[in-house]
Structure 1
Amino acid sequence: MKRWLRRRVDWAYEQLLSREISGAPTHVAVIQDGNRRYARQRGGDAPDGHRAGAETTERVLEWCQDVGVEELTLYTFSTENFERPDDENEELFDLLCEKLYEFADADRVHDNEVCIRVLGDVGRLPERVQDAVDYAEEQTRGYDRFVLNIALAYGGRTELLCAARSVARDVESDDLEPAEIDVETIESRLYDRTVRDVDLIIRTGGDERTSNFLPWHANGNEAAVFFCTPYWPEFSKPDFLRGIRTYEHREASWRRTRARRALALLGAVSEPELAEAKAVVDRFRDSLPTGEQPDEDEETDGLEAGGQAAD
């Protein structure tokens, strides 16, 4: 009876969260933490937790597609994970091979045109994992409706360091002028194919840190972050929807802040900057409370006053 009641409550909460969500982030990145602790809590070994976590991964992929997420990145194996016991890693590598081949051949992957890509220093992984990576990427290379990035042998600092060294080599060989270095220069050296800016990071397992994950694409985009206590195998759809809701609240707050800053500029800066501020106000006007929204006359007066001050 208690189990039935719990399921009904969970279902009702999920429906409530679904109704509250009006949009979805484009790119969600997930730190899948807690597999080993989940296994130990149940008297099992680490591989048991990793296998249970793999089932959650498949469900999250479906949830992302349900709400309109277009790109999902999973932090699956970091460079620090190489320091774990060899027998534990070997079993995880076997599971990775199994799942990569399974995903690459799955009807649901091809029906939904999912492009599978691996981010990280793949050359450090065992040859059998490299072969599985090549197979999965080749089988799904032509798809672009949904992108699934799997971070393997991944380290955010290492990624940025390699990009910086690549730029330095080109500058040293006179193939690149320092003045020509811009955002696109760095991004083109991080990955072979474009990775969207991260809108939302989700971390399970109770720790509140982002662990050097996608620093260029997440920190640079001021991504929203949702920390939750369930271990990755326990991560549920309501947890996922709460993460999406966190992103929506963060996005709304960001829009209001931008609009308020732009309004404050209207009477205090030069004419070119005023035009830019007005454009920001126009763009984000609807995010302000009704009482804070300026009318057209107020904006015009601000522009005229600013122009006179500039003269």
Structure 2
Amino acid sequence: MKRWLRQRVDAAYERLLSQEISGAPTHVAVIQDGNRRYARRQGGDAHEGHRAGAETTERVLEWCQDIGVEELTLYTFSTENFERPAEENEALFDLLCEKLHEFADADRVHENEVCIRAIGETEMLPERVQNAVEYAERRTYGYDQFVLNIALAYGGRSRLLEAARGVAESVDAGDLDHEAIDVEDIERRLYDQPVRDVDLIIRPGGEERTSNFLPWHANGNEAAVFFCTPYWPEFSKADFLRGIRTYEHRQESWRRTRARRALALLGAVSEPELAEARSIVDRFRDSLPSSEQPEDDEFEPSDSSGRAAD
């Protein structure tokens, strides 16, 4: 297909997808996969792939802000990536330093009050990268309109392990009652600043796995997951909008499931429980097909014999 025709088709598809989307997830997490494979296919080296991927990252940041996403987390460098060739990692570290300074000084970042944060074992990174992280965090500290988390030297299981150790130490020291341990005790120890639950994980590059990415915030929230085949440097706005559409379909399915469960319980609940079940049905009634819409008399509690109570 000729390039001009391809561009017109893509633009029309983007408009169609935009019309189908009615909302946006609060927190999107992206596994930036396929930079090196893209470079090899183009006949270049890994560094060229990472630089092309950085351009995609800037576009995705704009797309998120355009549709109302409030937090974006980018899986940029995992703890396993340290095992890659040193010359490849050094080139990537130089690119990270360049982009962190560039982002921290960008007018659009300050105009849109973007808070830049790094999550992960950043002390494992070269000093120049740590300095760039500190610069970006300091320059955008206090902004709260949009949060950009950059996962560097990141491993999901290692973060959970460190949090568990922190809880155990607090219990041993007598600062925390083991019977009082709750979700907040874990979350406070995962990251220096709060991270919202993940609503949608996007992974390009053809792999269909989440690679130990934000397990507490994604799995615990039953996040939607969107896999697609383009390598990260090729990731388009249409791909992004398809991911958002996947999230919306997942949310609608969740609403229907909640409503159906509440309806199924109505005939067997006691009076106090009935009020809660009715509240759930009222909230999610519009997500049910018309054939499943309950009648008002279905909200009446039943006695032990199964008859509607007088």
Name the TM-score class by shorter chain.
Answer: over 0.9
1:147 corresponds to: 147
For residues 138-195 of structure 1, the C-alpha deviation after alignment (integer angstroms, 9 at most, x for no partner) is: 1001100000000000000000000000000011111100111001111111112111
CA distance in 2, matches of 1:205, 1:74: 15
Map 1:60-71 onto structure 2 (within 5 A): 60-71=60-71
Aligned 8 A contact 1:104 1:136 in 2: yes
Aligned 8 A contact 2:82 2:89 in 1: yes
CA distance in 2, matches of 1:193, 1:152: 15
Aligned 8 A contact 1:270 1:306 in 2: no
1:75 corresponds to: 75
2:98 corresponds to: 98
2:121 corresponds to: 121
Aligned 8 A contact 2:266 2:298 in 1: no
Which secondary structure state, in structure 2, belongs to the residue aligned with residue 198 of structure 1? coil
For residues 79-104 of structure 1, the C-alpha deviation after alignment (integer angstroms, 9 at most, x for no partner) is: 00000001100000000000000000
Give the TM-score of the pair, scaled to structure 1.
0.96
Which secondary structure state, in structure 2, belongs to the residue aligned with residue 69 of structure 1? coil
Equivalent position amino acid for 1:265 in 2:
L
2:220 corresponds to: 220
Distance apart, 1:291 and its partner CA: 1.8
Equivalent position amino acid for 2:32 in 1:
Q
**Residues 118 and 72 of structure 1: CA distance in aligned 2, closer, same or farther (over 3 Å):** same
Equivalent position amino acid for 1:289 in 2:
P
Distance apart, 1:305 and its partner CA: 4.0
CA distance in 2, matches of 1:36, 1:202: 18
Aligned 8 A contact 1:156 1:213 in 2: yes
For residues 227-272 of structure 1, the C-alpha deviation after alignment (integer angstroms, 9 at most, x for no partner) is: 0000000000000000000000010001000100010001123333
Equivalent position amino acid for 2:210 in 1:
T
Map 1:131-170 onto structure 2 (within 5 A): 131-170=131-170
Aligned 8 A contact 2:198 2:217 in 1: yes
Distance apart, 1:77 and its partner CA: 0.2
Aligned 8 A contact 1:269 1:306 in 2: no
Map 1:269-308 onto structure 2 (within 5 A): 269-299=269-299, 301=300, 303-305=301-303
1:6 corresponds to: 6
Map 1:43-58 onto structure 2 (within 5 A): 43-58=43-58
CA distance in 1, matches of 2:238, 2:73: 19
Distance apart, 1:294 and its partner CA: 1.2
Aligned 8 A contact 2:269 2:302 in 1: no
CA distance in 2, matches of 1:117, 1:305: 56
Map 1:221-236 onto structure 2 (within 5 A): 221-236=221-236
Distance apart, 1:308 and its partner CA: 8.8
**Residues 292 and 59 of structure 1: CA distance in aligned 2, closer, same or farther (over 3 Å):** same
Distance apart, 1:71 and its partner CA: 0.3
Aligned 8 A contact 2:268 2:302 in 1: no
Which secondary structure state, in structure 2, belongs to the residue aligned with residue 150 of structure 1? strand
CA distance in 2, matches of 1:306, 1:191: 51
Q: Provide the identity percentage.
A: 79
**Residues 307 and 253 of structure 1: CA distance in aligned 2, closer, same or farther (over 3 Å):** farther
CA distance in 2, matches of 1:272, 1:188: 35
CA distance in 2, matches of 1:63, 1:226: 16
Equivalent position amino acid for 1:134 in 2:
E
Aligned 8 A contact 1:120 1:151 in 2: yes
Equivalent position amino acid for 1:277 in 2:
A
Give the TM-score of the pair, scaled to structure 2.
0.97
Aligned 8 A contact 1:46 1:88 in 2: yes
Between Structure 1 and Structure 2, how many residues are aligned?
308
Please identify runs of 4+ aligned residues in structure 1 that moved more than 6 A: 306-309
Which secondary structure state, in structure 2, belongs to the residue aligned with residue 75 of structure 1? strand
Worse overlay, 1-10 or 227-236: 1-10
Query: Is residue 2:160 matched to residue 1:181?
Result: no
Which secondary structure state, in structure 2, belongs to the residue aligned with residue 266 of structure 1? helix
For residues 193-221 of structure 1, the C-alpha deviation after alignment (integer angstroms, 9 at most, x for no partner) is: 11110000000100000000000000000
Distance apart, 1:307 and its partner CA: 11
Structure 1 unaligned spans of 5+ = none
